[in-house]
Structure 1
Amino acid sequence: MIDLEVRGAINVVEACAQAESIEKIVFNSSLTSAIWGENICSEKDVDERSWSDHEFCRKTKLWYALAKTLSEQAAWALAMDRMLNMVSINAGLVLGPGIAQKNPQVTMSYLKGAAQMYENGVLAIVDANFLADVHIRAFEDPSTCGRYFCFNQIVNTEEEAVKLAESLSPLISLPPRYECQGSEVYDERLKNKKLNKVVDSTAN
């Protein structure tokens, strides 16, 4: 999976480099390319400058996160080498009517380590329609550059986690008549101020 992901990213960027009509590349990536490392339990904010640690992903067998990290880094390296105008959209877990159920492998791969993401304030979800709109805005806005974290919500309470699990049924199942037991709220560590500026500016 990792080699295919990296090769696919390189092929797409190279094809864009050879096409004279390409004005900008909007590369679809994942938040998992930014959140994983030995310091995931720290209290530091996670923003667009963050990258997942390759060795940590290998050690913990987070193959989806490793594939997304390596493919995005390969895309950026080639885009800079070819002097291409590129932005990346690093999306949370994509949700929408039937999306998770139609793409179970991607959904469950993203959610590997979900408990750790949840407890450390980096488990985020994004609506598919909003994600598509962000891609359009990122392409049309000439000021966009670099990476953008894209999510609607950070799941950081048990109630929100239960709602997420229910929306992913039957991929994830809860015990019958499950009731929330705790009231703990985990600190939100993901920051997407950069994306908010784009959304606000293009909405006016």
Structure 2
Amino acid sequence: MSRVMPSSPICVTGGSGFLGSWCIKLLLEDGHTVHTTTRCAKKAAYLLELPGAPERLKVFEGVDLLSPGSFDAAIGGCETVLHTASPFYMKGGSEEKLVKPAVEGTQNVLSSCQRLGVKKVVLTSSTGSVYTNYGALPTEHVYTSEDWSPADLLREKENWYCLSKVLAEQTAWKMSRDPTCPFTLTVMVPTLILGPMVPGQPHLNTSASALVGYMDGSVQEIENACKTVVDVRDVARAHVEAAYRDLGGHRILLIGGSPHFQEVAGYIKEALPDDIKGRVPTRVSESLAPAVMGPAPPHPVRYDVSPAEKLLDMSFKNVETQVKTMVQSMLDNGFKSSEQYVPTNM
């Protein structure tokens, strides 16, 4: 499929986040001018150290998902928007904290896109909107972009994060199908994102918090679970490639492996310095992790990412690379303790 590089600036919402920062890094490397939004300029300051940033990155601070029109200044003059901003944390969440900002934030961003004549939107969703079905489907089911997590079941289980992703994505599709809508919509559906942080990232992101407990010893047993994972560099590249291609209407699954966490723990241990390797647990929990997303262990999640490989001309980094590069970047950025993780809205 042919690629056409946008000539106008590209807006990335939530640029201070784990994924958003990588999208910005790749866009700058490709020579683009980038606008990005953040609630706090201090948290986004590290982005200005990226190559090309002083000349071609403009940071718009104080932008709130729940404030209609707050994205107008950043989106103005941009024909392409990568909407990566959304609250992401699992513990201590609620419908008010997660569902409302995800849905209303999507409405606010896309309303700005409609009003300002944006031509292409790439939205970040999540596999939480695809296979959070509490084991309802058989273990041999192969998940594709055609699958949806049942919203009524998510509400019943009070799984607010996954419900937020389902409802936000459905909102986006509905808005994009309005006959007056000027933009085409492509939805990226990544799973748990691992891989390296951009150097200097000042906050421990939620994805990294899934590993840090194994690094500091606060996790005593290896979770008896198979989880899907993907590298942040692959997810960011998928977003950028979608900006270059005519993929409106596609929903694209992004998964780079479905390891048991015993395999993940082994890679964490190999990546750590000798003096702290002993903190990583070696005993696997006897109790199975609940089958919240897909089948229960030892069955891995079965999935089809051939659309991503064909439409975006990409391949996925393996689990070992994802885990080890994330651990090394956490150490490089000064993150070694679970206590450093504070759930936040970027």
2:137 aligned with 1:27: no
1:147 to 233, 237, 251: 251
- Root-mean-square deviation (CA), in Å? 3.4
1:200 Cα shift?
Answer: 2.5
> Are the structure 2 counterparts of residues 61 and 14 from structure 1 closer, same or farther at C-alpha, using a change threshold of 3 Å?
same
> Are the structure 2 counterparts of residues 186 and 92 from structure 1 closer, same or farther at C-alpha, using a change threshold of 3 Å?
same
2:265 aligned with 1:162: yes
Query: Is contact 1:30-1:68 (8 Å) kept?
Result: yes
Query: Is contact 1:31-1:92 (8 Å) kept?
Result: yes
Which has the higher relative contact order, 1 or 2, with Cα contacts under 8 A spaced 6 or more apart? 1
Q: TM-score, normalised by structure 1?
A: 0.74
1:164 Cα shift?
Answer: 7.3
State how far apart, in whole Å, the 2-side matches of 1:154 and 1:35 are: 13
Q: Secondary structure at the match of 1:16?
A: helix
> Are the structure 2 counterparts of residues 17 and 56 from structure 1 closer, same or farther at C-alpha, using a change threshold of 3 Å?
same
Paired residue type of 1:128 = V
1:40 Cα shift?
Answer: 3.7
State how far apart, in whole Å, the 2-side matches of 1:40 and 1:91 are: 21
Higher helix share: 1
Paired residue type of 1:7 = E
Query: Is contact 2:121-2:185 (8 Å) kept?
Result: yes
2:307 aligned with 1:194: yes
> Are the structure 2 counterparts of residues 166 and 91 from structure 1 closer, same or farther at C-alpha, using a change threshold of 3 Å?
farther
Q: May I ask how many residue pairs the two structures share in their alignment?
A: 184
Tell me which residue corresponds to 1:60: 157
Residues 27-85 of structure 1, C-alpha deviations (whole Å, 9 max, x = no match) = 01111011122554423221101111112112222110000110110111011114431
Query: Is contact 2:228-2:257 (8 Å) kept?
Result: yes
Flag the structure with larger Rg: 2
1:78 to 164, 169, 175: 175
Long gaps (5+) in structure 2? 1-97, 211-222, 273-277, 286-296, 316-346
Paired residue type of 2:313 = D
1:14 to 111, 114, 123: 111
Listed as ranges, the matches of 1:37-186 within 5 Å are 37=133, 39-43=135-139, 44-81=141-178, 82-83=180-181, 84-98=183-197, 102-104=204-206, 118-119=225-226, 123-143=227-247, 145-155=249-259, 157-163=260-266, 178-179=281-282, 186=299
Q: Secondary structure at the match of 1:25?
A: strand
Percent of pairs identical after alignment? 21
1:104 Cα shift?
Answer: 3.2
Query: Is contact 1:158-1:180 (8 Å) kept?
Result: no
> Are the structure 2 counterparts of residues 201 and 53 from structure 1 closer, same or farther at C-alpha, using a change threshold of 3 Å?
closer
Q: TM-score, normalised by structure 2?
A: 0.46
Paired residue type of 2:299 = Y
Paired residue type of 1:90 = V
1:180 Cα shift?
Answer: 6.0
Tell me which residue corresponds to 2:42: none
